[in-house]
Structure 1
């Protein structure tokens, strides 16, 4: 089923990004419906992460327009769109390595609590954040690691911590760049369940190579190839499209 612009919380029209004459993204039209899980997939070099970076303003488009809740955000900076409620994660885990899991989440909660990132505050001043921090830590399966420094976590657990710190901002739209990368089967199952739960009252956009995850989780799939949209629809629709099969031929399904 296609998504109309009227239903969309996040849209792009004619989105194009050119690097020294090469169009990494070329004329992409995208509509993400509110309270759904929307995947961007495609073979290596398809332009998925570039689209992701354009939507979250870490790159500026050469051409095109991006709207969030009907507001033109094309000229916004990354911090501007984050304040509006469009919050992303990264392929590489971004946590404070020498803070504990609990303190990483409490730092993320400070903004929501209108405390800023005031590292000089005493622990007692931040204790009121503990209950919510522990809820988020439990949600991503890190209860037993709460007192451990982030640097000591295995890679998959660091990714789970990053999801907890992203959720701490309580944004209406979450953008996950390969959230399952580097995770074992147990972690993938746990984080998939978490994403499914949070999408009940939020919108999720994700770049994901694991097609089993996409098939299990996503309501709508946009397939990119050579910087352009190749197919759209639910997973069964796009996976049966001969053009999609051809685009993936010879690539590794991760």
Structure 2
């Protein structure tokens, strides 16, 4: 495994009672890059993410991270190695403040999450780092707001801050712009580009304008198998990819800038 490759799958396969959801996928994610997984609905993208983070176990094949075989490791072990995932649905605590949400993530990193007997003031030492992370995702002005008050796009930015608090080496972002208006999409797109400066990002994303503008490499899945891989210009011109997307989605694929 090349030192330039942070994550690699070899013939990764997942079957559910005879249905092959992921079919012998060979994936190589280059260190320091933004790598996008795209494909029509049902292509196996989220199942692939679930395999990488060990929410489900592969039927066959292997997963390597920094040259180590992690195929049989538990989700907590994967997270400790530095693979941290966000989900399609925003996963923040709505009735905590924005600062408190990030503090919870920092506390998990410290390993003191269940020290219920400690005064809340014992967490004040985390405030400075939490504030730094919030500034990094352009939420510095919302530190003391209750999370439920935030727009959907800013909740997703907060989720990225809590993911950053876990000090990921590889961030897996599952549909980071799903359900957003244009303004929020642009904000999250800029944010992903910004936080990618010091880490590797693998993301599942339907929005082709996002993929075309920030992804270094794109892997197209269809029916659980790799259909094409390469930079956006190459992939979007591939006849097999255009056929797989069909109609309006194909137009969006070719027309995104």
TM-score norm. by structure 1 comes to 0.93
- Counterpart selection for 1:52 from 25, 49, 59: 49
Segments ≥4 residues shifted beyond 6 Å: none
- Counterpart selection for 1:174 from 165, 171, 195: 171
Q: CA deviation at 1:23?
A: 0.3
Specify the SS of the correspondent of 2:212: helix
- Which digits, 9 at most, give the CA deviation of each residue in 1:44-88, with x for residues without a partner? 111111111111111111111001111111111111100110000
1:122 aligns with 2:115: no
| Kept in 1: contact 2:153–2:188 (CA 8 A) | no
- Counterpart selection for 1:207 from 204, 208, 212: 204
Q: Equivalent residue for 2:83?
A: 86
Q: CA deviation at 1:128?
A: 1.7
1:221 aligns with 2:218: yes
- Counterpart selection for 1:187 from 184, 187, 194: 184
Q: CA deviation at 1:149?
A: 2.1
The 1:206–1:15 alpha-carbon spacing in structure 2 relative to 1, beyond 3 Å, is same
RMSD: 1.8
Partners of 2:6 and 2:241 in 1: CA distance: 26
| Kept in 2: contact 1:140–1:190 (CA 8 A) | no
- 5+ residue gaps, structure 2, are none
Q: Equivalent residue for 2:238?
A: 241
Partners of 2:111 and 2:52 in 1: CA distance: 26
Specify the SS of the correspondent of 1:200: helix
TM-score norm. by structure 2 comes to 0.92
Partners of 1:223 and 1:10 in 2: CA distance: 17
Partners of 2:154 and 2:207 in 1: CA distance: 18
Q: CA deviation at 1:6?
A: 4.9
- 5+ residue gaps, structure 1, are none
Q: CA deviation at 1:236?
A: 0.5
Partners of 1:173 and 1:10 in 2: CA distance: 9
- Counterpart selection for 1:156 from 153, 156, 162: 153
* Higher mean displacement: 118-127 or 201-210: 118-127
| Kept in 1: contact 2:3–2:66 (CA 8 A) | no
Partners of 2:133 and 2:114 in 1: CA distance: 18
* Higher mean displacement: 54-63 or 130-139: 130-139
Specify the SS of the correspondent of 2:197: coil
Q: Equivalent residue for 1:142?
A: 139
Q: Equivalent residue for 1:111?
A: 108
- Which digits, 9 at most, give the CA deviation of each residue in 1:111-151, with x for residues without a partner? 33454454553343222211221122122222333222223
Partners of 1:140 and 1:152 in 2: CA distance: 17
Specify the SS of the correspondent of 2:88: coil
Q: CA deviation at 1:250?
A: 3.2
